[in-house]
């Protein structure tokens, strides 16, 4: 009996995470139709949503078009200059800050996605205490692959592009 109750308690976080993920719409923006075929959910107003791309772009990753929206929506709420001290000191507003701030800088190693701490925490199991962003707002699939390719391509980030808190975005 004791072993069964311990096993049930150990499985609870996984069950809870799964339930929260489903309720929060976590993961890729798709749904299963009655015939079992997945379809993409349409973006509001029929326009493509830069924060939920449906495929990894062909050719080089464009920072302003492909990476900026992902970093703003998934990272800047916490990793801005005002709030960063509560979140490991990592500021992701500029390339220079991304390469020099945080508990163990740099967060991004241009050309080395597997060695980049930013990608490591994004790819962590959602239940891991260092996983970012916190559950249920994980970065999955296409979005993670775009960031991976961008870093592999050298993490090109124009000096004049400064990221802002999501509440300051009026248009992409």
pLDDT in tens, 40-90: 444 455 566 777 788 899 999 999 999 999 999 999 999 999 999 999 999
Angstrom distance (rounded) from CA 61 to CA 63: 6
Contact (Cβ atoms closer than 8 angstroms) between residue 112 and residue 151: yes
pTM: 0.69
Angstrom distance (rounded) from CA 69 to CA 63: 9
Three-class secondary structure of residue 152 per DSSP: helix
Give the residue extent of every domain in the chain: 46-168
Angstrom distance (rounded) from CA 99 to CA 111: 13
pLDDT digits (tens, 9 = 90+) for 24-51: 444 443 333 333 444 444 445 556 677 7
Residue 167: name the closest of 80, 96, 84, 88 by CA. Answer: 80
């Amino acid at each position: 009996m004791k072993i069964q109750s311990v096993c049930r308690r150990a499985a609870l976080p996984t069950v809870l995470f799964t339930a929260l993920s489903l309720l929060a719409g976590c993961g890729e923006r798709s749904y299963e139709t009655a015939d079992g075929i997945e379809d993409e959910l349409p973006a509001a107003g029929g326009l493509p949503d830069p924060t939920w791309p449906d495929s990894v772009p062909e050719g080089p990753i464009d920072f302003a078009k492909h990476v900026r929206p992902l970093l703003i929506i998934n990272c800047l709420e916490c990793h801005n200059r005002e709030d960063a001290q509560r979140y490991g000191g990592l500021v992701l507003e500029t390339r220079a800050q991304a390469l020099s701030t945080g508990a163990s800088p740099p967060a991004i190693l241009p050309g080395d996605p597997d060695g980049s701490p930013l990608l490591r925490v994004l790819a962590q199991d959602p239940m891991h205490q260092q996983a970012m962003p916190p559950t249920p707002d994980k970065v999955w699939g296409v979005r993670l692959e775009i960031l991976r390719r961008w870093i592999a391509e050298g993490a090109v980030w124009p000096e004049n592009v400064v990221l802002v808190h999501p509440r300051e975005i009026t248009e992409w």
